[in-house]
Chains A and B, each alone.
Chain A
Amino acid sequence: MAREIKSAFDKTLIKTALLNSFKKLDPRALWRNPVMLTVEAGSVITTINFLINLITGRGDPAWFTGMVSLWLWLTVLFATFAESLAEGRGKARAESMQKTRTEIMAKKLKKPEPGAEFETVPSIRLRKDDYVLVEANDLIPSDGEVVAGAALVNEAAVTGESAPVVRESGGDRNAVTGGTLVIDGSIVIRITANPGETFLDRMIAMVEGAKRRKTPNEIALEVLLVTLTVVFLLVVLNLSPLSIYSMKAAGQGHPVTLTVLVALFVCLAPTTIAALLPAIGIAGMERLFHRNVIALSGRAIEAAGDVNVLLLDKTGTITLGNREAAAFIPAGNHDVTELAEAALMASLTDETPEGRSIVVLAKRKYDLRVKDLPEHAAAVHFSSETRMSGLDVDGHSYRKGAADTVMRHVRETGGTIPSDIEGSVTKVAKTGATPLVVTRDDEIMGVVSLKDVLKGGIQERFQKLRSMGIKTMMITGDNPLTAAVIAAEAQVDDFLAQAKPEDKLKLIREHQEQGYMVAMTGDGTNDAPALAQADVAVAMHTGTQPAREAANIIDLDSNPTKLLDIVETGKQILMTRGTLTTFSIANDVAKYFAIIPAALSSIYPQLEVLNVMRLSSPFTAILSAVIFL
C-alpha cells in the first residue's frame, strides 16, 4: 500500500494541492504560519496600490507595483502549495487505508468462548474488552489480542506484505490489527482499542498530518523567525521616517513608497524557511513512510536525530535470526565423518533453521547422502522435558542438544563421557558459537558448533554511527563469553549479556539519568516497559499489542536495522531546517545591497556606490530582489 503512490508529481495530487493552496490563503488558515500571513498582508497592500497607480497614474509606475504584487502572491501560493502537496500525499494514502476500515460487521460474543452465542454489530460499536469471533474470510473488526484459537492472517492492508502470518493465542504472536483479513482458522479476539483509537485510526491521523503537532524544536525555530519578522517590519516602518527626514535634509528626492517598503519587508522576512517549515515536518514522516515506518509523533523522529545510545537486540538486528552450523568436532575415537553422519541423522527431521543448517553442512562438506527415511524411523521432537531432539532409526537413536543436558542424559543411561568433550565444548563457546553435543545411542560422537551469522555490512553501519557520536549497545540473552565474541566481531561499543527484560529497563534509565537519549527496538510484551521508557522506541509490527502501544515508531517491515534509517531521517529534518534558516538570513544582506541604493538614490545619489550588483534602474533592482526571495 505504501508503494501505491509512486511520485510526488502525480497529476491528481498536484491538482488537489493547487486547489487547496488557494483555500489556504484564507487568513484564518494562514495564521498558523505568521511569517506568511505578513507576506499575504503585503500582497494585499501592493495589490491595492497597483489599482490606485493604474487608475490615478500617480506614484510608482503601475507595471512595477503590479509585478511586485504578483510576485508576492506567488510567494504566498508557493508556501501554501508546498504544505498542501505534502499533506495531499498523506491524505491520498490515508484514503486508501480508510477503505479498509469501512463497515466491517463483527460477531460480538456474549462470552469469551469460541462456541458462545454472538450478535452481529458494526465494528464502530465495539468497545475495549468486548470479545468477537473471527472466522475464515472475515475482516478483523478492530485491534485486539487473540485469546483462543489460531489463524492465518493476511495483513497486507497494513504492512503491504502479502505473505500471510500466523496469529495465535498466548505468546508473542497474539496481536491482531483491525482491517486485516483472516484467511484460515477461527479465533476469539479481545478488543483492545475503542473506536477512533485503533492502530489504523492513529496511522490515518498521522499520515493525514491532521494531528501533527509542532515539535519544540520547530516552535523554537518559529520563535526566532517570527521575532526576525517583527524586527524587519520595524526596520521597514523606520525607513519611512528616515527617508522623510533625509529628503528634507538633502533637499531633493522623494520618500520611499509603500510598494518599495512592502517589497523590502517581504525580501527580508525569512519567507523561504517559513514557507517550507510545515512541509519539512510532513516530508520527514513521508520519507519514513516510504521505508514502511510509521512515526506516531514528529517529536519521535526529531528525537531520533539526537539519539546517542542505541540498544539493539542481538538476534535479528546484529545477527541473522538463525544460527548456522559451522564445524564438526569429533570426540573420543570417532572421526569427523562419523560425527557428521550422526549429526545429519539427528537433524533429518528437525525443521528449525539450525537443524537444517546442520544437514546442509553435512551434505556440503562431507558429501553425505540423505537416505530415504525408513518407514519405521521415529522423529523425536524437542520437548521441554528432554531438551533434546533427534531420530530413532535402524535400531539406533540419534540425539543432539545443549552440552550439559546431553551429558547428563548420557551419564544417566550409563554411557561414557570422552575426556576431550569438555575441552571441545569450552573451546566452541569461547569463539562465541553455541556447542551442540551429538550422541548415537549412549555414545557421545562430538560437538557441532553453531555460529551466529552477522548481517552483511553491519560493521560499516556501526562505524558510521560511531562517527555520528552514537554509542551502540548489544543486548543478548547469551552468556557473557559468547556475547563478547559477537560484540567484538560486529564492532558494537558495548554489550549486555544474559539480559532479562528488567535489565533493559534499568539500562535505559541509567543512560537517561546521565543525560543520554536512548533508542531501542522491541517486539515482545516483555519489551513494553523498556519501550515506554526509551526516548525513541521502535516496535516491530509483528510484535504484541502492548509493545506497539508503548512505542512511538512502528516498523511495518519488522526489520530492526531500520532504526538506523530513522536516526538518519531525524538528522536530515534538522539539517534541512538549519540550512534553510541560515541561507534565508544570510541572503538578506545581499538584498539590502540591491534595494537600499535603489530605494534611496533619489535622495542621495551617492548611495549608488552600494549598488555592488550594478542593477541598472531602481525598479529592476527591487523587482529582481523580490523575485529572488
Chain B
Amino acid sequence: MLPADVLIDSAQILALLALITLLTKPLGGYMAKVYLGERTLLSPLLSPVERTIYRLAGIDEKAEMGWKQYAIAMLLFNMFGILLLYSILLLQGGLPFNPQKFPGFSWHLALNTAVSFVTNTNWQAYSGESAASYFTQAAGLAVQNFLSSATGMAVMIALIRGFSRRMAENIGNFWADLTRGALYILLPIALAAALLLVSQGVIQNFSPYLKTTLLQPIAGPGGRIIAEQTLPMGPVASQEAIKELGTNGGGFFNANSSHPYENPTPFTNAFEIFLILLIPAALTNTFGRMCKSQRDGWAIYATMMFLLVIAVGALYMAELGGNPLLALQGPNMEGKDVRFGLGGSALFSATTTATSCGAVNTMHDSLTPLGGMVPLLLMLLGEVVFGGVGSGLYTMLAFVVIAVFTAGLMIGRTPEYLGKKIEITEMWTSVITVFTAGILILILDSIALVTTAGTGSILNPGAHGLSEILYAFASPSNNNGSAFAGLNANTVFYNVLLSVAMLGGRFIPAVAVLWMAGSLVRKKYIPPSVGTLPTDGLFIAWLAAVILIVGALTFFPALSLGPIVEHMIMSGGY
C-alpha cells in the first residue's frame, strides 16, 4: 500500500472521531433534558404521544422508585420481552409476513436468539435471510433492538441519579426512563438515519425474494451449471439504523454490514460507524451534566477515546503488515471488502467491538492474529471503550469506582467520587459489574474446552481454534454479539451455554449497578477540597491503566495460548 493510502485512511478515521467529539456535547445536553423531563425541541410533537403511552399502560410517570423496585420493573419487563420474542420465533411458521414460508426456530435456537436480542447482544446462531421472516425481523427483533438499548440507558440514568441526588431514597421511574429513551432519543435518530440509508441504496420492502438470471452462468459443485441467483429482500433500512444506533449489531442478513443491501457504499460505512459511537459517546456528557460536573464526563470520554485510538491504530498496523508467509506481500485483505478499504474495515472492527455493537463489515476470523486480538481484547476489557448504549458507561463507572478507590487511598483519604463516599456496597457492586463477564468467560470456556460437545464445534485446529472459542464466549458474555466464525454455534450445547452467558453478562451487572445507585443516592454530598483526589488529568491515565491491567491479569494466559502464540508461529515462519 502506498503511504498516501495510509494517510487517507488516517484522515478518514480522525475526521470521524472528531465529528463524534463535536456532537458529544449537544446530543449529551439533549439527552440530559429528556431524562430530566424538561422541554426539548421535539416535545410539542412527542409529549402527547408520551402521555398517551402512560395513560394506556396505566403508568404514573411521576411515581419514583427505590432501586429494588426499579430493578424488579427492569427485570420483569425484559423477561416478558424474552418470552414474547421466544414465542414469535417458535411460532414464526404460522405468523404473517412470511413470503419465504420459513418454519419456526428450534427451541434452543429460539431461546438463544430471544435472549440475545433482549440482552442487547444480538449474537446470531442463525442466518437472517434463510431463517427469519419479515414479521420476526421487524416485529420481533427490531422491537427488542429499541427496547434493549432503552433499558441500558435507563439503568445508566438511574446510576446518574444515584450520584447526583443527595440523601434521597428513589432513583427515578423505570417506565418513564424507558419510554423517554425510546421515544425522544432512539426513534427520531433511527428514523432520520433509516431515510439517509435508503437514499444510499439500502433496501426497505416486504416483497418476496427476487430471482434473477446471472449474466454469466457459473459452474457449481458437481459440475452443475448455476444460471439463477436469489436476492433476499426485506425491511432492511429500518432495522439497520437501530442496529448501529442502539449498539445492537444483529444483521438483517448473515453477512451483516458487509452485505451491499445493509452497507452499500463507503459513505454508509462511515455513517454506520458514526451511528455506533454517537449515543455511547454523548452519554458521557449527559452523565457530566446531570452530575453537575462536565469535567468528569469529559475525563471518562477522554479515557474511552484514548483506548479506542490505540485499538484502531494497533488493528490497522497489524493488518497493514499482512501475512509474511504469503508470497504476495501487502496488507491483509482477506475477509475485507474493497469498498471500505483497510481504513474503513479497521475502524469498523475496532468500533463495533469497543462498543458492544457487534455488527461486522469485516470477517474477524480472517484478521491477522494480533489484528484479531484487538477486537477480542476490546470485548474482554468489559465493553467499556464507549461500550454498549448505557451499559458501556455504567461498566466504565464501576471501573472508575475501583480506580478512585485505589488512587484515593494512596493520597490518604477514604475514597470518594463526585462527592459520594465509596464504601462497602459501592465496592461490591463495582467488582460484580466489572468481573461478571470475565468470570463467565473463564468458567464457560473451561467447560467448552473439556467437553466433546464444546470442542466438536471447532472448525479450525491449533491456536486459532482456541481464539475462536475464546471469542465465542467473550462476545456473548459482554453482550457484544459479533462472531469470529469458525465455530458451529447452532448446537444445543452452545445455544444454551451462550444464553447463560448473555443473561448473566447483562442482568447481573445491571442489577448491581441499580444496587449501587440505591446506595449512592442515600449518601450525603461531600464538597471537594484541596485534599480531594482530582478525577481528571492524570486520573485519566490511571483509569486506563486500571482497565488494561484488570483485563490483562484476567486473560493473559488465554491470550498467550491463542492469538499471541499464533502470531509468533506466523512471524517465526513455522
Contacts and interface: CB of A to CB of B under 8 A. Distances in A.
A305 B431 contact: no
A359 interface: no
A588 B415 CA distance: 24
A232 B419 CA distance: 32
A79 interface: no
B427 A238 contact: no
B172 interface: no
A577 B549 contact: no
Contacts of B127: none
A469 B525 contact: no
A302 B412 CA distance: 9
B525 A224 contact: no
B568 A606 contact: yes
B557 A224 contact: no
Contacts of B549: 585-586, 589
Contacts of B426: 220
A238 B445 contact: yes
Contacts of A227: 431, 435
A469 B424 contact: no
A572 interface: yes
Interface stretch (B63-71, B202-210, B327-335, B558-566): B558-566
Interface string B423-447: 1101110010001001100110110
Interface centre among B423, B426, B565 (most CB of A within 10 A): B565
A603 B435 CA distance: 29
A459 interface: no
Nearest to B448: A241
Contact of B560 (A216, A471, A588, A596): A596
Contact of A578 (B407, B431, B560, B561): B407
Contacts of B405: 220-221, 224
Contacts of B431: 223-224, 227
A606 B574 contact: yes
Nearest to B423: A216
Contact of B414 (A238, A572, A574): A574
Nearest to A577: B409
B449 A575 contact: no
A577 B411 CA distance: 10
Nearest to B469: A245
Interface string A223-265: 1100110111011011111111110011000000000000000
Contacts of A589: 549, 552-553
Interface string B543-563: 000000100111111101100
Chain B, interface size category, equals 35 or more
A308 B466 contact: no
B443 A243 contact: no
A212 interface: no
A275 interface: no
Contact of A241 (B450, B552, B555, B568): B450
Given A220-B405, A227-B435, A469-B529, A245 B455 contact: yes
Contact of B561 (A246, A268, A609): A246
A351 to B, nearest CB: 45
Contacts of B455: 245
A419 interface: no
Contact of A231 (B435, B465, B564): B435
B488 interface: no
Interface of chain B, helix or strand or loop or mixed? helix
A235 B557 contact: yes
A574 B413 CA distance: 6
Interface in B238-271: none
B424 A237 contact: no
B463 interface: yes
B531 A308 contact: yes
Interface centre among A239, A244, A579 (most CB of B within 10 A): A239
A311 to B, nearest CB: 16
Contacts of A572: 412
B446 A308 contact: no
Interface centre among B445, B449, B461, B553 (most CB of A within 10 A): B553
Interface string A526-568: 0000000000000000000000000000000000000000000
B525 A242 contact: no
B557 A515 contact: no
Interface string A585-616: 11011001000100010011011011000000
Contacts of A237: 442, 446
Nearest to A215: B414
B556 A596 contact: yes
A114 B521 CA distance: 58
Given A516-B526, A577-B409, A585-B549, A302 B414 contact: yes
A468 B531 contact: yes
Nearest to B445: A238
A46 B428 CA distance: 32
Given A220-B422, A249-B463, A306-B413, A592 B556 contact: yes
A214 to B, nearest CB: 10
B462 interface: yes
Contact of A588 (B450, B465, B525, B553): B553
Contacts of A607: 560, 564-565, 568
Given A234-B443, A238-B557, A596-B556, A466 B530 contact: yes
20 contacts: A216-B414, A217-B415, A219-B424, A220-B405, A220-B426, A224-B405, A231-B554, A234-B443, A235-B442, A238-B558, A241-B450, A246-B565, A308-B529, A468-B530, A516-B526, A574-B408, A582-B406, A586-B549, A596-B556, A604-B565
Given A220-B427, A578-B407, A604-B463, 18 more contacts: A220-B424, A223-B427, A223-B428, A227-B431, A235-B554, A235-B557, A237-B442, A238-B446, A241-B449, A249-B463, A469-B529, A514-B527, A575-B411, A592-B553, A596-B556, A596-B560, A604-B565, A606-B574
- List the 8 shortest-distance A-B pairs measured between CB atoms, nearest first: A578-B409, A469-B531, A571-B412, A469-B530, A578-B410, A241-B449, A606-B568, A469-B529
